[in-house]
Amino acid sequence: MAEEQRRVGGHLAALVLARGGSKGIPLKNIKKLAGKPLIAWVLRAAIDSEAFDSVWVSTDNDDIEKVAKDYGAQVHRRSTAVSKDTTSSLETIQEFLQHHPEVDMVGNIQATSPCLHPSDLIQVVDMIRTQGYDSVFAVVRHHLFRWREVKTPGEGTVPENLDPAHRPRRQDWSGELYENGSFYFTTREIIERGLIQGGKMAYYEMKQEHSVDIDIDLDWPIAEQRVKRFGYFGKGAPTVVKLLVCNIDGCLTDGRVYVNQEHEFISYSLRDLDGIRKLLERGVTVVLISERNISPSLISNLKLPCDVEGNVTNKREVLQRRMSGMGLSLNQSAYMGCGDSDVECLKLAGTSGVPSDASTAAKMTDSFTCTQGGGYGAIQEFAEHIITLMESGR
């Protein structure tokens, strides 16, 4: 009984190992994935779960330390002795525990598993705290047939988990469970015995769509698409967007204006027009704004299927006026901008986005950062991001 009470009340730390010297992808842990540093996805899930007594990043790198602190984690500066290519996760966790005697349990969360959700972590913490397990680790179910490896030329192979004469259909076979590396929760006692898993063990089965790992460059584009569709975007992520206010200058256009003696000209991508139409088809009101005094003839010639407001001196006023007129909350609004004058609105809106060539201040607002620049498909990309959020119910 005393052990059960100690377990419930013990200090549980989330620990993300993020060494700076990745060989496969340099500084992989803070490379941008779907507009956020890779490590930010798991840190947000851990912090928003509110299941941990502390959330830590163990690193040897100044840039990773800064990102970790920006996203709310504490930082343990690991020693050079556990920062080598040959250092194991176990050794790094053991060093962390040596410096933090208050920690009774560790949730070692893999930085390269960006589709982790708070709901997963909450359930695992309950298994450790109240169900009496010493170790809980993540698995995913696969329906894969295994065959014995052939090491000698001419040697035949044999099946290891099926009968070729009676191959089961997928729906008739429950498959097998494989570790996916997303997390390993373990008590201090097990770690001090030199184990990651031990004692009374249990697995936690993650959904296949949430089971994402990034190891090499080829994994990156696949992971990015999975995150955009299945990732966790935070407590404030809206389920329905009803309004998008977007800056014309630097978002619809590349920021350049062409002028002759009588007229000015701007250009935009037809891909962005397609993105606007997709939003309109889903009931999202789109408003394009510009600080410039755009002439009515230019607005007419642009042939845009949405409202356009020029000579805007107060972008926040436009956003709030449009929201008020539609009876919307901030979480039902989206804003896209690219410059310092957009920062206030980017912070206010429930969903915000910036082109890849936006100003530093705009990018620092924790907005979705597009891979495309202004005038080259950024609005289409942000529109698809909004649609994905709504379709996935987040």
Owner of token pair 């007419």: 300
Q: What does the block give as tokens for 8?
A: 């419930």
Q: Please list, residue by residue across 295-309, b when 16 or more beta carbons sit within 10 angstroms of its beta carbon and e when fewer do.
A: eeebbeebebebebb
Q: Is 167 a catalytic residue?
A: yes
User: What's the CA gap between 130 and 3, in Å, rounded?
Assistant: 11
Decide if 274 contacts 380 (C-beta within 8 A): yes
Distance of alpha carbon 254 from alpha carbon 277, whole angstroms: 20
Retrieve residue 179's tokens: 């570790």
What Cα–Cα distance (Å) separates residue 244 from each residue in 103, 171, 178, 236?
46, 43, 42, 16
The whole-angstrom separation of Cα 91 and Cα 254 is 50
Identity of the amino acid at 369 = T
Please name which of 135, 140, 139, 138 lies closest in space to residue 185, comparing C-alpha atoms.
135
β-sheet bridge partners, residue 75 = 57
Both tokens of 224, joined, read: 């990015």
Sheet-wide strand order for 307-309: 307-309, 285-289, 243-247, 333-336, 351-354, 368-369
Q: Residue holding tokens 């919307």? A: 328
Catalytic residue among 146, 148, 167, 193: 167
Catalytic residues: 167
